[in-house]
Amino acid sequence: MPSTRPLAAPPYSVSPDGSIPSLPPQSGPRYAQPLTSTRATEVNPATLPADFDNYHLGPGDSIFVSVQRYPDLSFQATLDLQGNIVVPIQGAVSFEGQTLPEAETMLRNIYNQYVDISSTSVDLTLVAQRGVEVTILGSVQRPGFYPLPDPSVATALLTAGGATRTSDLRAIQVQRQFRRNGILSEETINVDLFTPLKEGGPLPDVRLEDGDVVVIPELDPSQLDEYDRFLVARSTLAQPVINVRFINYAGGRSGIGTLNLNNGSTFVDAVSLLGVNPDTANLGDVALIRYDPETGRAVTVGLDAKGAVTGDITQNPPLEDSDVIVVGRNLIGRLSYALETITRPFRDVFGFTNFINDAFFDGTPLQ
């Protein structure tokens, strides 16, 4: 059975007396060699790990090399599936995992074996970047493998459907593998998208690369009061649409169904779409049922729809995906419904009186 209990106040103003109960706050390549792992590093623009700050060449990248005064040594080529390029004079050379400055230095060293280019400029330019496909896991709408038009963490999050009600955007993990001289290593950094959203700052400048793994962690239930989920829901980082189910006994959009609402919608938005009949609906006590991740149970809160419509924000909480709204009948509505379901006429006034007593005064009133 659903449980009822007061929970921590939501991240918006509530009545000073605190008398209103509140809802719960809101593929890349794999190799056989063992990995050399490092612990996660917090992203700071000034201290971003060099391996994440620099672009690493890989299969599919196209480069142009210009050697001043030696046009025969200049060339344009694309790294093959093994990360190799045929270099003039030398032959096949692996560029996989090299940064652009490292590749430039390697070419200079190769050419110096054959020609004295110590006083010659060697310039390497990335002319076409390979496609970026990353793995997105964790608390997103659609985990999986995705090609990205823009290799940013925010784009990856949106491509997978956006943040969910349980996503924690403060510690998104980006895992990347590096292969140098046949040795494979892995490094992980934590990217915070929540703080820039909250404070209005720029997003972390972390460029994803092909084969990266992006993990969106689940929000720790003990930290619900520290994390403004309504702010995230109203942002462009969250899933754009939520599904709210309803059970309406009072007319309007009657029966059982689902409302598709913009993320960030409130209780009033849903009630307005339901079009409940104020003459028959019990608007003073509309039930909102929500899953509480802290207890693993359903929590039911009674809300005053009239108060919400007239501006009482304590009665107009933001909705979350999978919420359920139940609108019951008022006394007149229950009586009318009961009378309409009676197919046999009352024998006399005493029969009618007994019917009313049984329906409303025996402790089990009709829905």
Task: Give the closest residue to 26 by CA, choosing from 194, 282, 190, 228.
Answer: 228
Other C-beta atoms closer than 10 Å to the C-beta of 259 total 19
Q: What is the pTM of this model?
A: 0.63
Structural domains of the chain, with CATH:
1-25+228-328 (3.10.560), 36-52+132-220 (3.10.560.10), 56-128 (3.30.1950.10)
- Beta strands in 202-347, from DSSP E residues, in sequence order: 213-216, 241-248, 255-262, 286-292, 297-303, 324-327
Measured between alpha carbons, how far is 301 from 244 in angstroms, rounded to an integer?
A: 15
Report d(CA 268, CA 253) in Å as an integer: 15
- 10/24 Cα distance (integer angstroms): 8
Chain centroid to CA 147: how far?
A: 17
* pLDDT number for residue 17: 44
Q: CA triplet 245, 248, 251: central angle to 5 degrees?
A: 140
Distance CA 164, CA 263 (A): 10
Which pLDDT does position 86 carry in this prediction? 94
Low-confidence ranges of the chain (pLDDT < 70): 1-53, 179-182, 251-254, 330-367
User: 308: closest CA among 262, 270, 258?
Assistant: 270
> What residues have CB less than 8 Å from 109, skipping those under 6 apart?
none
- What's the Rg (C-alpha) of the chain? 31
Give dist(CA 133, CA 151) in Å, integer. Answer: 9
Strand stretches in 129-281, DSSP E: 132-138, 144-148, 172-180, 183-191, 213-216, 241-248, 255-262
155/133 Cα distance (integer angstroms): 12
User: How do residues 48-89 score in pLDDT, each as one tens digit?
Assistant: 555 666 788 989 999 999 998 889 999 999 999 988 999 999
Within 8 A by CB and 6+ apart from 355, the residues are 338, 342, 346
Question: In the sheet where 62-67 sits, what is the strand order?
Answer: 75-78, 62-67, 122-128
pLDDT of res. 53 = 66
Per-residue pLDDT at 236: 87
Among candidates 278, 276, 285, which has minimal Cα distance to 303?
285
Rounded CA-CA distance 152/174 in Å is: 11
